[in-house]
Amino acid sequence: MHLLQESTKQETFENRQIVGQTIKGSEILTESGLVSVHGIYYRYILNNGQAVDVQDDYTIIEANGNILTLEPLK
């Protein structure tokens, strides 16, 4: 039973519904440092440390609290 409790603790809404989705660079609000996913605003970081390119698409690879890690699709 303890293992089952531990595995369900890490299953957040973000991990179930948001991680793995693709978003357009044009949807990322670089001025505010936010991105809207399903109507919820999250802070974001890019895993490559570069600036957002509005022409690129990004995959959400991790969610940690209210911060999403994005990876460019290239």
Q: Where along the chain do its domains lie?
A: 2-72
pLDDT reported for residue 72 = 95
Residues shown for the chain:
74
Q: How far apart are CA 74 and CA 55, in angstroms?
A: 11
pTM: 0.80
pLDDT reported for residue 74 = 76
pLDDT reported for residue 12 = 84
pLDDT reported for residue 48 = 87
Q: CB count, 10 Å around CB of 52?
A: 19
- Please say whether the dihedral angle defined by the alpha carbons of residues 27, 31, 35 and 39, taken in this order, is positive or negative: negative
Q: Which pLDDT tens digit goes with each residue over 2-57?
A: 555 555 556 887 888 899 999 999 999 999 999 999 899 999 999 988 999 999 99
Task: Give the residue-averaged pLDDT of 62-74.
Answer: 92
For the domain made up of 2-72, the CATH class stated in words is mainly beta
Q: What is the DSSP letter of 44?
A: E
